[in-house]
């Protein structure tokens, strides 16, 4: 199988294909973040990086990269990459414009407009299979994507296969059936010992104990209006056993262990995204948190790939 992955990140897509037992002959990755590329190379040295999605095009059975010239309406500085069929096109176009945690700019956000490059390349390539992932969003934006791809998405929650609540839409040209709930809870992915620097200061949580047993609760710090109409930061605790969705903002997904409120460790974040421990090693902690928060839940993508026919 030949795969083209757009917005590839640290090649979680390839990790998922391997996890699903699918043989990959060539894997081309379009990614511009040098930190994600470094992690990809560490885990999958066979990946071929092809640069920005904006410069990528497929014509007459060949994959090229080049700079689009709006005046001549043609590409310049063209470089040949590959001659042959591309079987699978995958990608999770940047979601910040669609996310409720963002500014709700939708397609007016430049990052969200990168979806159109996914659609363009999809029609240029004509792959046997394609998969697009994105956040839960307004119906009007979802409908635009569905109309362009000529397919309706399925909404799946990573909580079925992980200890994290993470609802995402998946557009695929094969039937996707939701997987069975594996019943994974947050306590299963937490480390026994973590660095004290992960503790969140100036938070006075209530104590959750019963019969002397240590309890774990997912939580977050949210900005809420008080009775005087002033925004203040409040600790909000979930009553279930799943973490909030992992994002690039640490306070969106915290954990309370007995009296202590803290951030997740890098290893715990990798586990919440069902990545192998240490998958994102090789770059700074800041960059690791960023790529994990922006990334895919690997086991969910693996499950989706396993249903390709």
CB distance 264 to 219 below 8 Å: no
Strands (E), 84-137: 88-91, 129-135
Whether residue 60 contacts residue 80, with contact meaning beta carbons closer than 8 Å, is answered with no
What's the pLDDT at 107? 53
Q: How far apart are CA 148 and CA 132, in angstroms?
A: 12
Rounded CA separation 100/113 (Å): 17
162 touches 273 (CB < 8 A):
yes
| CA pseudo-torsion sign 275, 260, 253, 185 | positive
Take residue 178 and report the two structure tokens written for it.
Answer: 């939701």
Helix (H, G, I), strand (E, B) or coil at 139: helix
190, containing H or E segment: none
Residues of the chain under the 70 pLDDT cut: 95-112, 204-214
Q: Which residue bears the tokens 């569905």?
A: 146
């Amino acid at each position: 199988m030949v795969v083209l992955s757009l917005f590839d990140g640290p090649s979680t897509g390839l990790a998922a294909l391997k996890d699903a037992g699918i043989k990959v002959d060539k894997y081309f990755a379009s990614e511009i973040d040098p930190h994600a590329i470094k992690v990809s190379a560490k885990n999958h040295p066979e990946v071929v990086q092809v640069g920005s999605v904006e410069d990528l095009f497929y014509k007459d059975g060949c994959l090229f990269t080049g700079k689009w010239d709006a005046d001549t309406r043609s590409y310049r500085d063209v470089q040949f990459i590959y001659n042959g069929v591309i079987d699978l096109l995958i990608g999770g176009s940047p979601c910040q414009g669609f996310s409720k945690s963002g500014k709700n700019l939708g397609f007016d956000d430049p990052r969200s407009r990168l979806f159109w490059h996914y659609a363009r390349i999809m029609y240029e390539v004509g792959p046997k299979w394609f998969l697009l992932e994105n956040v839960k969003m307004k119906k009007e934006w979802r409908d635009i994507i569905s109309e362009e791809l000529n397919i309706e998405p399925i909404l799946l929650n990573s909580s079925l296969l992980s200890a994290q609540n993470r609802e995402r839409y998946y557009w695929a040209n094969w039937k996707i059936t939701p997987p069975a709930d594996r019943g994974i809870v947050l306590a299963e992915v937490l480390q026994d010992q973590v660095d004290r620097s992960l503790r969140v200061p100036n938070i006075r949580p209530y104590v959750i104990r019963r019969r002397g047993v240590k309890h774990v609760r997912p939580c977050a710090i949210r900005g809420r209006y008080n009775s005087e109409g002033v925004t203040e930061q409040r600790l909000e605790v979930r009553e279930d056993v799943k973490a909030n969705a992992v994002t690039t903002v640490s306070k969106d997904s915290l954990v309370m262990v007995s009296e202590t409120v803290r951030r997740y460790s890098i290893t715990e974040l990798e586990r919440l995204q069902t990545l192998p421990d240490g998958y994102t090693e090789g770059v700074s902690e800041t960059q690791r948190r960023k790529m994990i928060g922006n990334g895919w839940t690997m086991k969910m993508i693996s499950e989706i790939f396993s249903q390709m026919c």
